[in-house]
Structure 1
Amino acid sequence: MDVQQFLIRIDAISVWVGKAAAWLIIGLMTLVCIEVFKRYIMNMPTAWIFDVSNMFYGTLFMLAGAYALAQNAHVRGDFLYSSLRPRIQATLDLLLYILFFLPGVAALIYAGYHYAGLSWRIGEHSTVTAEGPPIYYFKTVIPVAGVLVLIQGLAEIARCILCLRTGEWPRRLKDVEDIDVVAEQLAHSEHIDAQTREAAIQRAQDIDRAARQRGRGGDIET
Structure 2
Amino acid sequence: MPSSARAHLKTAVSTIDRFAMATGKLIAWLVLAMMLLTCWIVVMRYGFSMGSIALQESLTYLHSTVFLLAIAYTLKQDGHVRVDIFYRRLGVNRQAWINALGSLLFLLPTCLFILFASWDFVVNSWAVKEGSPSSGGIPAVFLLKSLIPLAAILIAIQGLGEVLRNLLILTSDASDKTEAHHAD
Q: Could you tell me the TM-score, scaled by structure 1's length?
A: 0.72
Tell me the CA shift for residue 13 of structure 1: 0.3
What is residue 47 of structure 2 aligned with on the other side? Answer: 41
Tell me the CA shift for residue 93 of structure 1: 1.9
1:53 maps onto 2:59 in alignment: yes
- Contact 2:114–2:152 (CA under 8 A) maintained in structure 1: yes
One-letter code aligned to 1:93: N
Which has the larger helix fraction? 2
- Contact 2:93–2:169 (CA under 8 A) maintained in structure 1: yes
Q: Equivalent residue of 1:23, what SS?
A: helix
- How many equivalent pairs are there? 174
- Contact 1:38–1:46 (CA under 8 A) maintained in structure 2: no
How far apart, CA to CA, are the structure 2 residues paired with 1:218 and 1:37? Answer: 45
What is residue 145 of structure 1 aligned with on the other side? Answer: 151
How far apart, CA to CA, are the structure 2 residues paired with 1:60 and 1:107? Answer: 21
1:27 maps onto 2:33 in alignment: yes
What is residue 154 of structure 1 aligned with on the other side? Answer: 160
Tell me the CA shift for residue 58 of structure 1: 0.6
- Contact 1:162–1:169 (CA under 8 A) maintained in structure 2: no
Unaligned 5+ segments in structure 1 are 172-216
How far apart, CA to CA, are the structure 2 residues paired with 1:140 and 1:92? Answer: 32
How far apart, CA to CA, are the structure 2 residues paired with 1:169 and 1:64? Answer: 27
- Contact 1:4–1:170 (CA under 8 A) maintained in structure 2: no
1:130 maps onto 2:126 in alignment: no
Greater relative contact order (Cα < 8 A, sep 6+): 2
What is residue 107 of structure 1 aligned with on the other side? Answer: 113
Greater shift in the superposed pair: 70-79 or 53-62 = 70-79
Q: Equivalent residue of 1:219, what SS?
A: coil
Larger radius of gyration: 1
Tell me the CA shift for residue 124 of structure 1: 0.7
One-letter code aligned to 1:16: A
Counterparts of residues 198-217 of structure 1 (less than 5 Å): 217=181
- After superposing on structure 2, the runs of 4+ consecutive aligned residues of structure 1 that deviate more than 6 Å are none
Counterparts of residues 184-199 of structure 1 (less than 5 Å): none
- Contact 2:20–2:73 (CA under 8 A) maintained in structure 1: yes
Unaligned 5+ segments in structure 2 are 1-6
Tell me the CA shift for residue 169 of structure 1: 5.7
Q: Could you tell me the TM-score, scaled by structure 2's length?
A: 0.86
1:94 maps onto 2:100 in alignment: yes
How far apart, CA to CA, are the structure 1 residues paired with 2:113 and 2:63? Answer: 22
How far apart, CA to CA, are the structure 2 residues paired with 1:69 and 1:55? Answer: 22
Percentage identity across paired residues of the two chains: 31
- Contact 1:10–1:151 (CA under 8 A) maintained in structure 2: yes
How far apart, CA to CA, are the structure 1 residues paired with 2:76 and 2:178? Answer: 14
